[in-house]
Structure 1
Amino acid sequence: MSFINDIKQAYYNANIVEKIIYINVFLFLITYIFTGFVIEWFTLPSNFTAFLYKPWTLITYAFIHQRLFHILSNLLVLYYIGNLFLDFYNKKQFVNCYFLGGIFGGLVFLINYYISNKYGDPLGGASAAVTAIFVAIATKIPRYALQLRFIGSVELWVLATIWVVLSILQLAAIDNGAALAHLGGGIFGFVYAKQLEKNNDIGKWFEAILNYFSKLTKSSKKSNLKTVYKSTNRTQSTDVEKSKQRKIDDILDKISKSGYESLTKEEKDFLFRAGKK
């Protein structure tokens, strides 16, 4: 029981990226045990009529992995790139981009088979959602450099390009629906980041839906003391976040004008520390 309690505590203390990783790992184990049932009811079918009987699969498919390498590659990228995403965007924007990237990728998958009048393997995996996050943050800070062991400094746009090209190469396969879904997620991530630059969050409607269901699960009454305490913490946290964001924005402006190498050692160190959190 202590082990289970430790896992619960780790989950409750985790940020949104880590929570999604925990959920994916848990469902991977469930899929391993109940493979037939999970694949039948929670992956996204290529047959549009079958999808109409299981519309929830447009979301659940992104949490279903069958192969160990598949889930490892997705979650490793999500851990590093997702946490970097949170340094430049907020939690709600991460949720919007991740889930809507997965949904958009799923729609591209469905439309492809509907138009071609073909059927392929059902879609499973977080690749479309992860690609949306990857492309979005690479669009935001393309010249941000990551330090990779045995390789050295590599700018984010290069890594994102390699990730996307791997999906493009998969288009040559006979059953290329999964590759199209990945690219669909990438397109959404690019558009999402570009719209945020214009202060337009195209995922607000999805956020509103989540907020509605979240309010239904919360208790209706809280003590005044508890409310004041939370309000104070929220104000302090907001001030820190705003200060950090201002510094990040100043550094990004400098990168866009003069390139990454124009940064001082202190500025590079600050971005590097931000990327590791």
Structure 2
Amino acid sequence: MNSFVTDLKATWNKPNSGLARLIIINVIAFVVMSLISLVCRFTGFEGFFNEYIFRNIALPPDISDFIVRPWTLITYFFSHSLQEFFHILFNMLMLYWFGVIFMEFLGSRKLVVLYILGGLVGGLLYLTMYNLVPYFISRQPVGMIGASACAYAIVVGAATLSPDYRMNLLFFGPVKIKYIAAVTIFISLIGTSGANAGGNLAHLGGALIGFVYIKALKAGTDLGKPVSAVLDFFSNIGKPSSSLKVTYRKNSGSKKGKGAKDGEPDQEIVDAILDKISEKGYENLTQEEKQILFKASQKKG
């Protein structure tokens, strides 16, 4: 047990461990909720679990219920039901597969930011539809939990960043992730009339913010700044303030390629990276080379 805890701490404390931390939080929350649910069920307190635990974690469809439990807009996307093991399994696999691709371009922090944005926008779309559209008002569920909206935000975000990146799928072989994203969105769209209509609405909300977030980022606008500021606030609680001021020197213009400006990728370097893609394929680029390409696309986009 001590070895397991030690390994868990080591994984948590690694640099750029945002993806691992999100998965760890989801898995721990699932295990804890499952154990509590089992204990309540076996001891005859299942009603207590539904009324006082699930009700305070799941996002309610009725706006009047949400107003008195606003924290559920966050708690719902870190929780999964005991009866739906494959729900958390599929969500975590999607998050991992596409999260690794996403981090190659934008790193750990922006992955966490988009995860949270996906959950927030997915939940807000769910609330909007169930309080304004008659079709959904008459079919209100008990509540919604699950990280699917967050996972869809990462899937579409990765596909927007690098639409031609290929993943090897069983029975299909290499498939461009833009097609995988398109299929998942279509399945969620037709699912909005099914039994899990609320969940599929959240999927679409997450997918939408994944696309908008990356497009805005390429245009020079970071929609995740408020979320990032909140994360910084909580991460700095308890940390001693430092009076050390770090300054950076700009590179000398004599070392830049033709047409380069301060803060912009050197065009000669970008051309060399593009040549490397032509010769060896995108998958053989280093993380640094991929980030240079992304920065170049921001300046042009």
Query: Which TM-score applies when normalising by structure 2?
Result: 0.74
Runs (5+) with no aligned partner, structure 2 = 38-48, 249-264, 291-301
The match for 2:78 among 63, 80, 96 is 63
Aligned-partner residue type, residue 159 of structure 2: A
Partner of 2:217: 196
Instruction: Give the direction of change, closer, same or farther, for the CA distance of 1:263–1:148 in structure 2 (3 Å limit).
Output: farther
CA distance in 2 between counterparts of 1:174 and 1:126 reads 18
Q: Which residue type is aligned with residue 142 of structure 2? A: D
Q: Which residue of 1 aligns with 2:295?
A: none
Amino acid at match of 1:98: Y
Structure 1 position 6 matched with structure 2 position 7: yes
CA–CA distance in 2 between the matches of 1:12 and 1:42?
Answer: 27
Read off the aligned partner of 2:14 and give its amino acid letter: N
Secondary structure, aligned partner of 1:9:
helix
Aligned to 1:121: 142
Which residue of the partner structure matches residue 79 of structure 1? 96
**SS of the counterpart of 2:60?**
coil
Higher relative contact order (CA 8 A, sep 6+): 1
Residue 55 of structure 2, aligned match among 40, 45, 54: 40
> What corresponds to 2:185 in structure 1?
164
Stretches of structure 1 that go unaligned for 5 or more consecutive residues are: 233-244, 256-261
Secondary structure of the 2:141 match is coil
SS at match of 1:147: strand
Q: How many residues align?
A: 251
* AA in 1 matched with 2:12: Y
Q: Is 1:50 matched up with 2:65?
A: yes
What secondary structure, in the 3-state scheme, does the structure 2 residue paired with 1:154 have?
A: strand
Partner of 1:240: none
Q: Specify whether residues 266 and 143 from structure 1 end up closer, same or farther in structure 2 by C-alpha distance, changes over 3 A only.
A: closer
More helix by share: 1
CA–CA separation in structure 1 for the residues paired with 2:60 and 2:66: 6
Tell me if structure 2 keeps the 8 A contact 1:48–1:110. Answer: yes
C-alpha displacement of 1:33: 1.6
Hey, what does 2:111 align to over in structure 1?
94
- Aligned residue among 20, 23, 27 for 1:21: 23
Answer whether contact 1:164 1:183 (CA < 8 A) is retained.
yes
Query: How far did residue 8 of structure 1 move?
Result: 2.2
Question: Is this contact kept in 1: 2:11–2:20, CA < 8 A?
Answer: no
Deviations 1:124-157 (A, max 9, x none): 1010011011111101111111233543211010
1:106 maps to 123
Instruction: Provide the residue aligned with 2:40 in structure 1.
Output: none
How far residue 206 of structure 1 moved from its aligned partner, in angstroms, is: 1.6
How large is the Cα RMSD of the aligned pairs?
3.1
Please list, as runs of the form range in 1=range in 2, the aligned pairs for 1:99-248 lying within 5 A after superposition: 99-115=116-132, 116=134, 117-118=137-138, 119-173=140-194, 176-220=197-241
Aligned residue in 1 for 2:255: none
One-letter identity of the residue aligned with 1:167: S
Q: Give aligned-pair identity as a percent.
A: 33
Distance change >3 Å, CA 5–CA 174, structure 1 → 2: closer
- Could you tell me how far apart the structure 2 residues matched to 1:3 and 1:74 are? 23
**How many Å apart are 1:72 and its aligned residue?**
0.4
Q: What TM-score do you get using the length of structure 1 for normalisation?
A: 0.80
Aligned-partner Cα distance in 2 for 1:246–1:68: 48
Indicate if the aligned counterparts of 2:18 and 2:109 stay in contact, CA closer than 8 A: no
1:250 shift after superposition: 4.0
Kept after mapping to 1: 8 A contact 2:102/2:161: no
What is the CA distance between 1:9 and its match in structure 2? Answer: 2.3
Assess, with a 3 A threshold, how the Cα gap between structure 1 residues 5 and 160 changes in structure 2: closer, same or farther.
Answer: same
Amino acid at match of 1:182: H
CA shift, 1:108, in A, is 0.5
**Letter of the structure 2 residue corresponding to residue 54 of structure 1:** R
Structure 2 Cα separation of the partners of residues 88 and 3 of structure 1 = 31
Residue 146 of structure 1: SS of its match in structure 2?
Answer: strand
C-alpha distance 266-144 of structure 1, shift in aligned 2 (>3 A): closer
Q: Deviations over 1:108-128 (max 9, x none)?
A: 111111113442131110100
